[in-house]
Structure 1
Amino acid sequence: MRKEWFGAVIALAVVAMVSYVWLAPPAREPAPAVTLPTLEGESAALSDYRGGPVMVVFWATTCTTCIAEMPDLVALHQKLADRGLSILGVAMAYDPPDQVRALVERRALPYEIVLDNEGAIARAFDNVRVTPTTVLIDPAGQIVWQRIGHLDFDAVESQIRGMLDEAQAS
């Protein structure tokens, strides 16, 4: 009887370990340590934004999808910036700063705009080449996901609200 019990416990432990490995959420990678030169000529480290979720949006002035999602980004910023969300719009290296500045003014973008003049930020984020590419970083500085193309902003907002609620509760 003891041998059967011992065998059942061992089998249960093996099943539990295999299930944990199989079903555990994937480990998140830390966001790269990059310097962010802003459109205003200032500079910040990405790590300065820890403590709240961060959306890093790689975009270009000639990207129609990027332009089309800007109202959604503005709305998301207006809804959640006060609660701790930071949105960083990273202009691609091939975009002339004057062209970026003109579009930002024309669109009245309220979130931080970063100039990736040398392409170092794009390279640090898995060599981004396609716009829009959006990266969501959790409050601890871990990459949650990286996506190419137009986003489902309702789903993104819901996910960010969950992060904000979780951060506020702890």
Structure 2
Amino acid sequence: MLVSDNKLKYGVALLLCIGTGIAVLKLGGWFNPRLQAIQAPALSGERIHIPDQRGRLTWVSSWSVSCALCLRELPDLEALHLQYGKHLQIVALALPADPPNAINDVKNRLQLTLPVVLDLDAAAARQLTPDLVVPSHHLVDSEGRVLLKLKGALHREAMLAALQPYLPP
């Protein structure tokens, strides 16, 4: 009986430790990390703020001019921008290694009106895509919490499905 009582005590202690650890991680922001505020220039000349200063959610899609999958999904991002731009800031974040003239060529060729952002100092890439895997997507709330992280190419329906719980009815 003494052995089973000790097992029970150790089991309860272990569960308490695990529960406390999870609570500390959650309160510490480990499950929804916060971004340092990012300000980056868009090709249009405006400065884009992540998180959005108007309180909207921000969908950041990291891409590269040399990524065929990225170039295929940019028109889908444009469609989302046109449909949900009042409720959602959509940003196409070019990798820091991409030359601005090549980024501008893509923007003009695809007739993008969504903000195409230059990450000149790599501040955004260090936080969002330190592994430089593109395409990658992040949904950031107005407090800078990363709500979603998705890697790989997405078509418009997959983007909408990921966004659906966060969009107004």
Structure 2 length-normalised TM: 0.74
Alignment partner of 2:133 out of 130, 135, 140: 130
Q: Report deviation, 1:68.
A: 0.9
Structure 2 SS opposite 1:99: helix
Which residue in the other structure is 2:69 paired with? Answer: 65
> Match of 1:70, SS?
helix
The CA distance in 2 between the partners of 1:44 and 1:144, in whole Å, is 19
Partner residue, 1:120: 123
**For residue 121 of structure 1, what is the amino acid of its counterpart?**
A
Matched, 1:160 2:163: yes
Q: Kindly tell me: are residues 144 and 48 of structure 1, through their superposed partners in 2, closer, same or farther at Cα, counting changes over 3 Å?
A: closer
- Unpaired runs of at least 5, structure 2: 1-14
Which runs of no fewer than 5 residues in structure 1 stay unpaired? 1-13
> Which residue of the other structure, out of 20, 32, 35, is the alignment partner of 2:36?
32
Residue number in structure 1 paired with 2:83: 79
> If each structure's helix is expressed as a fraction of its own residues, which one has the higher value?
1
Measured on the aligned residues, the alpha-carbon RMSD in Å equals 2.7
Task: Identify if the C-alpha distance between structure 1 residues 124 and 134 changes in structure 2 by more than 3 Å, giving closer, same or farther.
Answer: same
Partner Cα separation in structure 1 for residue 125 and residue 155 of structure 2: 22
The answer to whether the 8 A contact 1:93-1:118 is kept is yes
> 1:101 aligned to 2:122?
no
The alignment covers a number of residue pairs equal to 148
